[in-house]
Amino acid sequence: MVPALAVAEALQAEGAEVTFIGGARAEAQLVPAANFPLYTISVEGLSRSNPLRALRALALALAAVLRARSLLRSLAPDAVMGGGGYVAGPVGVAALTRRIPMVLTEADSHLGLTNRVLAPFARRVCLAFPIPGRDGTRYRVTGRPVAPASADRDAARRRFGIDPQELCVLVFGGSLGARSINLASAEGLAGGPFRVLHICGRRDHAELAARELPSGYQLHEYLELPDFAEALAAADLVVARAGGSVFEIAASGRPAILVPYPRAAGDHQAANARWMTEAGAAVSIPDAELTPARLGAEVGALLGDRDRLAAMSAAALGLARPDAAREVAGELQEAARR
Protein backbone atom coordinates (compact mmCIF):
# COMPACT_ATOMS: atom_id res chain seq x y z
CA MET A 1 0.00 0.00 0.00
CA VAL A 2 2.89 2.41 0.56
CA PRO A 3 3.72 2.74 -3.19
CA ALA A 4 0.04 3.04 -4.14
CA LEU A 5 -0.60 5.80 -1.61
CA ALA A 6 2.54 7.66 -2.68
CA VAL A 7 1.38 7.60 -6.32
CA ALA A 8 -2.14 8.61 -5.28
CA GLU A 9 -0.81 11.65 -3.46
CA ALA A 10 1.35 12.61 -6.46
CA LEU A 11 -1.69 12.34 -8.75
CA GLN A 12 -3.82 14.35 -6.35
CA ALA A 13 -1.17 17.08 -6.29
CA GLU A 14 -1.61 17.31 -10.08
CA GLY A 15 -5.37 17.73 -9.72
CA ALA A 16 -6.41 14.15 -10.47
CA GLU A 17 -9.25 12.40 -8.66
CA VAL A 18 -8.10 9.10 -7.14
CA THR A 19 -10.24 6.18 -5.96
CA PHE A 20 -9.05 2.82 -4.60
CA ILE A 21 -10.49 -0.65 -5.13
CA GLY A 22 -9.03 -3.15 -2.68
CA GLY A 23 -9.64 -5.92 -0.20
CA ALA A 24 -10.05 -6.06 3.55
CA ARG A 25 -6.40 -6.11 4.60
CA ALA A 26 -4.03 -3.16 5.08
CA GLU A 27 -5.88 -0.97 2.59
CA ALA A 28 -9.04 -1.07 4.72
CA GLN A 29 -7.15 0.96 7.33
CA LEU A 30 -4.56 2.91 5.36
CA VAL A 31 -6.67 4.22 2.47
CA PRO A 32 -9.42 5.87 4.56
CA ALA A 33 -6.73 7.23 6.90
CA ALA A 34 -5.17 8.97 3.88
CA ASN A 35 -8.61 10.41 2.96
CA PHE A 36 -9.08 8.48 -0.28
CA PRO A 37 -12.34 6.64 -1.07
CA LEU A 38 -12.13 2.85 -1.00
CA TYR A 39 -14.42 0.29 -2.63
CA THR A 40 -13.86 -3.31 -1.62
CA ILE A 41 -13.87 -6.68 -3.36
CA SER A 42 -13.63 -10.09 -1.71
CA VAL A 43 -10.55 -12.05 -2.78
CA GLU A 44 -7.93 -14.35 -1.27
CA GLY A 45 -4.55 -15.71 -2.31
CA LEU A 46 -4.30 -18.73 -4.56
CA SER A 47 -3.16 -21.75 -2.54
CA ARG A 48 -0.42 -23.81 -4.19
CA SER A 49 -0.90 -26.77 -1.86
CA ASN A 50 -4.64 -27.04 -1.05
CA PRO A 51 -6.87 -27.74 -4.10
CA LEU A 52 -10.09 -26.87 -2.25
CA ARG A 53 -8.73 -23.51 -1.12
CA ALA A 54 -7.44 -22.89 -4.65
CA LEU A 55 -10.92 -23.54 -6.09
CA ARG A 56 -12.43 -21.20 -3.51
CA ALA A 57 -9.91 -18.50 -4.44
CA LEU A 58 -10.75 -18.88 -8.14
CA ALA A 59 -14.48 -18.63 -7.44
CA LEU A 60 -13.93 -15.48 -5.37
CA ALA A 61 -11.73 -14.04 -8.12
CA LEU A 62 -14.45 -14.57 -10.75
CA ALA A 63 -17.03 -12.86 -8.55
CA ALA A 64 -14.53 -10.07 -7.86
CA VAL A 65 -14.06 -9.46 -11.61
CA LEU A 66 -17.81 -8.95 -11.99
CA ARG A 67 -17.88 -6.64 -8.96
CA ALA A 68 -14.87 -4.70 -10.29
CA ARG A 69 -16.50 -4.33 -13.73
CA SER A 70 -19.56 -2.83 -12.07
CA LEU A 71 -17.42 -0.44 -10.03
CA LEU A 72 -15.39 0.65 -13.06
CA ARG A 73 -18.57 1.25 -15.01
CA SER A 74 -19.88 3.62 -12.34
CA LEU A 75 -16.52 5.28 -11.54
CA ALA A 76 -15.54 5.66 -15.23
CA PRO A 77 -11.78 6.12 -14.63
CA ASP A 78 -9.47 7.37 -17.37
CA ALA A 79 -6.74 4.92 -16.28
CA VAL A 80 -6.20 2.12 -13.77
CA MET A 81 -3.05 1.34 -11.79
CA GLY A 82 -2.35 -2.20 -10.59
CA GLY A 83 -0.20 -2.35 -7.49
CA GLY A 84 0.63 -6.07 -7.69
CA GLY A 85 -0.74 -8.79 -5.46
CA TYR A 86 -3.82 -10.92 -5.88
CA VAL A 87 -6.23 -8.07 -5.07
CA ALA A 88 -5.09 -6.25 -8.22
CA GLY A 89 -5.81 -9.23 -10.49
CA PRO A 90 -9.62 -9.01 -10.77
CA VAL A 91 -9.51 -5.22 -11.13
CA GLY A 92 -6.90 -5.48 -13.86
CA VAL A 93 -8.96 -8.06 -15.75
CA ALA A 94 -12.06 -5.89 -15.37
CA ALA A 95 -10.14 -2.88 -16.72
CA LEU A 96 -9.05 -4.89 -19.76
CA THR A 97 -12.61 -6.01 -20.53
CA ARG A 98 -13.73 -2.37 -20.36
CA ARG A 99 -10.75 -1.18 -22.47
CA ILE A 100 -9.42 1.13 -19.77
CA PRO A 101 -5.68 1.90 -20.05
CA MET A 102 -3.66 0.18 -17.33
CA VAL A 103 -0.28 0.86 -15.73
CA LEU A 104 1.30 -1.73 -13.42
CA THR A 105 3.82 -1.27 -10.62
CA GLU A 106 6.14 -3.96 -9.27
CA ALA A 107 7.76 -3.23 -5.91
CA ASP A 108 10.01 -6.31 -5.73
CA SER A 109 13.00 -7.62 -7.65
CA HIS A 110 10.88 -10.20 -9.47
CA LEU A 111 7.54 -9.93 -11.25
CA GLY A 112 4.71 -11.39 -9.15
CA LEU A 113 2.07 -13.74 -10.57
CA THR A 114 -0.60 -11.06 -11.04
CA ASN A 115 1.79 -8.73 -12.85
CA ARG A 116 3.12 -11.56 -15.01
CA VAL A 117 -0.43 -12.27 -16.19
CA LEU A 118 -1.38 -8.63 -16.76
CA ALA A 119 1.93 -7.25 -18.08
CA PRO A 120 1.35 -8.12 -21.79
CA PHE A 121 -1.78 -5.95 -21.74
CA ALA A 122 -0.45 -2.97 -19.78
CA ARG A 123 0.54 0.36 -21.31
CA ARG A 124 3.54 0.46 -18.97
CA VAL A 125 5.03 -1.70 -16.20
CA CYS A 126 6.95 0.42 -13.67
CA LEU A 127 9.68 -1.59 -11.95
CA ALA A 128 11.39 -0.94 -8.64
CA PHE A 129 14.50 -2.81 -9.86
CA PRO A 130 15.80 -3.87 -13.27
CA ILE A 131 14.53 -7.41 -13.90
CA PRO A 132 16.29 -9.65 -16.45
CA GLY A 133 14.07 -10.25 -19.46
CA ARG A 134 11.74 -7.38 -18.57
CA ASP A 135 12.94 -4.65 -20.88
CA GLY A 136 11.80 -2.83 -23.99
CA THR A 137 9.36 0.07 -24.17
CA ARG A 138 6.70 -1.66 -22.05
CA TYR A 139 8.96 -1.70 -18.97
CA ARG A 140 10.46 1.26 -17.14
CA VAL A 141 12.59 1.27 -13.98
CA THR A 142 11.21 4.03 -11.78
CA GLY A 143 12.17 2.74 -8.34
CA ARG A 144 9.59 2.01 -5.68
CA PRO A 145 7.29 4.94 -4.86
CA VAL A 146 7.48 5.91 -1.19
CA ALA A 147 6.21 8.79 0.91
CA PRO A 148 8.64 11.73 1.24
CA ALA A 149 11.20 11.16 3.97
CA SER A 150 10.91 13.27 7.10
CA ALA A 151 13.56 15.99 7.02
CA ASP A 152 13.23 17.24 10.60
CA ARG A 153 15.40 14.87 12.64
CA ASP A 154 15.30 17.05 15.76
CA ALA A 155 11.49 17.13 15.78
CA ALA A 156 11.37 13.37 15.18
CA ARG A 157 13.65 12.76 18.15
CA ARG A 158 11.55 14.99 20.37
CA ARG A 159 8.49 13.03 19.26
CA PHE A 160 10.02 9.82 20.69
CA GLY A 161 11.81 11.44 23.66
CA ILE A 162 15.32 10.80 22.32
CA ASP A 163 18.10 13.18 23.33
CA PRO A 164 20.11 14.78 20.47
CA GLN A 165 23.33 12.98 21.45
CA GLU A 166 21.80 9.53 22.01
CA LEU A 167 22.29 6.75 19.50
CA CYS A 168 19.06 5.12 18.34
CA VAL A 169 18.29 1.80 16.63
CA LEU A 170 14.97 1.32 14.81
CA VAL A 171 13.73 -2.28 14.55
CA PHE A 172 10.74 -3.32 12.43
CA GLY A 173 9.49 -6.27 10.42
CA GLY A 174 6.16 -5.45 8.74
CA SER A 175 2.60 -5.11 10.04
CA LEU A 176 2.59 -8.62 11.55
CA GLY A 177 6.22 -8.36 12.57
CA ALA A 178 9.14 -10.73 11.99
CA ARG A 179 9.44 -13.22 14.84
CA SER A 180 13.13 -13.99 14.43
CA ILE A 181 14.00 -10.28 14.45
CA ASN A 182 11.61 -9.58 17.32
CA LEU A 183 13.13 -12.23 19.59
CA ALA A 184 16.74 -11.48 18.68
CA SER A 185 16.22 -7.76 19.26
CA ALA A 186 14.42 -8.11 22.59
CA GLU A 187 17.20 -10.35 23.90
CA GLY A 188 20.23 -8.92 22.12
CA LEU A 189 19.58 -5.17 22.15
CA ALA A 190 17.79 -4.55 25.46
CA GLY A 191 20.08 -2.85 27.94
CA GLY A 192 22.57 -1.67 25.31
CA PRO A 193 24.15 1.81 25.44
CA PHE A 194 21.65 3.16 22.91
CA ARG A 195 17.93 3.72 22.52
CA VAL A 196 15.75 1.19 20.71
CA LEU A 197 12.51 1.92 18.84
CA HIS A 198 11.04 -1.53 18.20
CA ILE A 199 7.90 -1.83 16.02
CA CYS A 200 7.13 -5.48 16.63
CA GLY A 201 3.77 -5.96 14.87
CA ARG A 202 0.54 -7.48 16.12
CA ARG A 203 1.59 -11.10 16.32
CA ASP A 204 4.32 -10.85 18.98
CA HIS A 205 3.36 -7.65 20.79
CA ALA A 206 1.62 -9.25 23.79
CA GLU A 207 4.50 -11.67 24.37
CA LEU A 208 7.18 -8.98 24.13
CA ALA A 209 5.19 -6.46 26.18
CA ALA A 210 5.10 -9.00 29.04
CA ARG A 211 8.90 -8.89 29.30
CA GLU A 212 10.73 -6.54 31.64
CA LEU A 213 12.30 -4.28 29.04
CA PRO A 214 14.52 -1.37 30.16
CA SER A 215 13.30 2.22 29.93
CA GLY A 216 15.47 2.91 26.89
CA TYR A 217 13.69 0.18 24.93
CA GLN A 218 10.47 1.53 23.37
CA LEU A 219 8.15 -1.23 22.17
CA HIS A 220 5.40 -0.31 19.69
CA GLU A 221 2.86 -2.66 18.18
CA TYR A 222 2.33 -0.44 15.14
CA LEU A 223 3.01 3.08 13.92
CA GLU A 224 0.94 5.03 11.44
CA LEU A 225 2.81 5.97 8.25
CA PRO A 226 3.63 9.56 9.32
CA ASP A 227 4.90 8.29 12.69
CA PHE A 228 6.94 5.59 10.96
CA ALA A 229 8.59 8.25 8.77
CA GLU A 230 9.54 10.13 11.94
CA ALA A 231 10.94 6.94 13.49
CA LEU A 232 13.19 6.52 10.45
CA ALA A 233 14.31 10.14 10.75
CA ALA A 234 15.10 9.69 14.46
CA ALA A 235 17.20 6.55 14.01
CA ASP A 236 20.94 6.14 13.48
CA LEU A 237 20.64 2.51 12.36
CA VAL A 238 17.80 0.28 11.13
CA VAL A 239 17.27 -3.46 11.69
CA ALA A 240 14.63 -4.86 9.33
CA ARG A 241 13.55 -7.41 6.76
CA ALA A 242 14.51 -6.67 3.14
CA GLY A 243 11.11 -6.22 1.51
CA GLY A 244 9.91 -3.10 -0.26
CA SER A 245 10.83 -1.04 2.80
CA VAL A 246 14.46 -0.98 1.58
CA PHE A 247 13.41 1.99 -0.57
CA GLU A 248 12.06 3.82 2.48
CA ILE A 249 15.31 3.08 4.30
CA ALA A 250 17.29 4.39 1.33
CA ALA A 251 15.13 7.50 0.97
CA SER A 252 15.77 8.37 4.61
CA GLY A 253 19.51 7.75 4.22
CA ARG A 254 19.69 5.24 7.05
CA PRO A 255 22.33 2.49 7.38
CA ALA A 256 20.73 -0.91 7.84
CA ILE A 257 21.17 -4.43 9.08
CA LEU A 258 18.90 -6.52 6.87
CA VAL A 259 17.58 -10.01 7.65
CA PRO A 260 15.90 -11.26 4.44
CA TYR A 261 12.80 -13.39 4.89
CA PRO A 262 13.97 -16.82 3.68
CA ARG A 263 10.63 -17.92 2.19
CA ALA A 264 9.86 -14.76 0.20
CA ALA A 265 8.50 -15.39 -3.30
CA GLY A 266 11.34 -15.77 -5.76
CA ASP A 267 13.74 -15.14 -2.86
CA HIS A 268 13.31 -11.46 -3.71
CA GLN A 269 14.27 -10.26 -0.23
CA ALA A 270 17.73 -11.77 -0.62
CA ALA A 271 18.05 -9.88 -3.91
CA ASN A 272 16.87 -6.66 -2.25
CA ALA A 273 19.45 -7.11 0.49
CA ARG A 274 22.21 -7.66 -2.09
CA TRP A 275 21.18 -4.40 -3.78
CA MET A 276 21.79 -2.58 -0.49
CA THR A 277 24.91 -4.45 0.62
CA GLU A 278 26.68 -4.22 -2.75
CA ALA A 279 26.21 -0.45 -2.65
CA GLY A 280 27.69 -0.33 0.85
CA ALA A 281 24.42 0.81 2.46
CA ALA A 282 23.67 -2.27 4.55
CA VAL A 283 24.92 -5.40 6.28
CA SER A 284 22.96 -8.63 5.68
CA ILE A 285 22.46 -11.50 8.15
CA PRO A 286 20.78 -14.72 6.92
CA ASP A 287 17.70 -15.51 8.98
CA ALA A 288 19.13 -18.90 9.99
CA GLU A 289 22.21 -17.17 11.42
CA LEU A 290 20.36 -14.49 13.37
CA THR A 291 20.92 -14.83 17.12
CA PRO A 292 20.69 -12.26 19.92
CA ALA A 293 24.49 -12.34 20.28
CA ARG A 294 25.11 -11.91 16.53
CA LEU A 295 22.65 -9.04 16.26
CA GLY A 296 24.01 -7.31 19.36
CA ALA A 297 27.58 -7.60 18.05
CA GLU A 298 26.68 -6.24 14.59
CA VAL A 299 24.74 -3.31 16.05
CA GLY A 300 27.52 -2.50 18.52
CA ALA A 301 30.21 -2.61 15.84
CA LEU A 302 28.33 -0.28 13.50
CA LEU A 303 27.29 2.22 16.17
CA GLY A 304 30.88 2.33 17.36
CA ASP A 305 32.16 3.34 13.93
CA ARG A 306 30.74 6.78 13.09
CA ASP A 307 32.74 7.06 9.85
CA ARG A 308 31.31 3.78 8.56
CA LEU A 309 27.78 4.84 9.51
CA ALA A 310 28.23 8.09 7.59
CA ALA A 311 29.52 6.23 4.52
CA MET A 312 26.58 3.79 4.65
CA SER A 313 24.15 6.69 4.99
CA ALA A 314 25.60 8.37 1.90
CA ALA A 315 25.41 5.07 -0.01
CA ALA A 316 21.75 4.65 0.99
CA LEU A 317 20.88 8.13 -0.26
CA GLY A 318 22.65 7.30 -3.51
CA LEU A 319 20.22 4.42 -4.05
CA ALA A 320 17.10 6.46 -3.33
CA ARG A 321 14.59 7.26 -6.09
CA PRO A 322 12.71 10.23 -4.58
CA ASP A 323 10.88 10.97 -7.85
CA ALA A 324 9.46 7.46 -8.28
CA ALA A 325 5.89 8.40 -7.27
CA ARG A 326 5.83 11.35 -9.65
CA GLU A 327 7.23 9.22 -12.48
CA VAL A 328 4.55 6.55 -12.05
CA ALA A 329 1.89 9.27 -11.77
CA GLY A 330 3.17 10.70 -15.05
CA GLU A 331 2.83 7.32 -16.74
CA LEU A 332 -0.78 7.08 -15.56
CA GLN A 333 -1.56 10.57 -16.80
CA GLU A 334 -0.01 9.78 -20.18
CA ALA A 335 -1.98 6.52 -20.42
CA ALA A 336 -5.18 8.43 -19.62
CA ARG A 337 -4.46 11.08 -22.27
CA ARG A 338 -3.74 8.47 -24.94
* Residue 275 belongs to domain with CATH number: 3.40.50.2000
Chain mean position to CA 241? 10
Task: Specify whether 115 is located in the same domain as 192.
Answer: no
Task: Specify whether 327 is located in the same domain as 285.
Answer: no
Pairing of strands 282-284, 256-258: parallel
Task: Specify whether 7 is located in the same domain as 85.
Answer: yes
Q: What is the CA radius of gyration of the chain?
A: 21
Q: Calculate mean pLDDT across residues 160-168.
A: 94
In single-letter form, the type of residue at position 213 comes to L
Q: Does the pLDDT at position 57 exceed 80?
A: yes
Task: Specify whether 249 is located in the same domain as 293.
Answer: yes
Chain mean position to CA 116? 20
Domain that holds residue 287: 153-319
Task: Specify whether 168 is located in the same domain as 181.
Answer: yes
Task: Specify whether 55 is located in the same domain as 86.
Answer: yes
SS3 content of the chain, % helix, strand, coil (to 5): 50, 15, 40
Enumerate residues 6+ apart whose C-beta is below 8 A from 15.
Answer: none
Question: pLDDT, tens digit, for every residue of 3-16?
Answer: 999 999 999 999 99
Q: Does the pLDDT at position 46 exceed 80?
A: no
Task: Specify whether 180 is located in the same domain as 199.
Answer: yes
Query: pTM to 2 decimals?
Result: 0.85
Q: Calculate mean pLDDT across residues 297-323.
A: 96
Q: How far apart are CA 245 and CA 272, in angstroms?
A: 10
Confidence grade of residue 210 (pLDDT, cut at 50, 70, 90): very high
